[in-house]
Amino acid sequence: MKQEDFVLIEQELGIILPESYKKAALEAKISKTRHPSRFYDDPRKIVSTNKRLRKKGLYGQPLRENHFVIGYDSDGGDYYFIDLNFKDGHVYLANRTKTWKYTPEDISFNESPYNSIDKFVDFMCDLNAMVENSEKNPRPEQTDEEKQKMIADFFTDMNKQFPKNRQ
């Protein structure tokens, strides 16, 4: 992200982003993978998601204007958001389950798995790196040579177990 992205987000949503968020977003090293990023780094996606959730709601509850969605985990249907009224930078989680339901009237009822935006972004960067590496090599513990040897050994064993009929 760039500084001008923050200006766009703030203008479109009528908010002031905390410096902790800006710093973390500027420093995030999230690579592009086939899987969607769990930390939004596209300002247009951030604006459209927050506008949509303000209008249509977050699992039945309208997203409050002081709550700002910064990411999404498609595996669990989890939205990650921060409360713009707090400077502590806690990242909160909301999903469909009763346990982590979005409870805007009392922020303390929302799960806060990350006590700072930095920790959240670091974790998401690590997670994206793991996904990227697994896409390159689904079994990273094996080199290409080891895979070739494993295939050759398999066919050698098959030929021993099922020799060709010789007539």
At residue 69's C-alpha, the angle toward residues 7 and 58, to 5°, is: 135
Concatenated DSSP letters for 62-94? PPPTTEEEEEEETTTTEEEEEETT-SS--EEEE
Domain 3-161 = CATH 3.40.50 = no
- Write out pLDDT tens, residues 45-92: 999 999 999 999 888 888 889 999 998 877 667 888 999 988 767 888
Instruction: Give the pLDDT confidence score for residue 46 in this predicted structure.
Output: 93
Q: pTM value?
A: 0.71
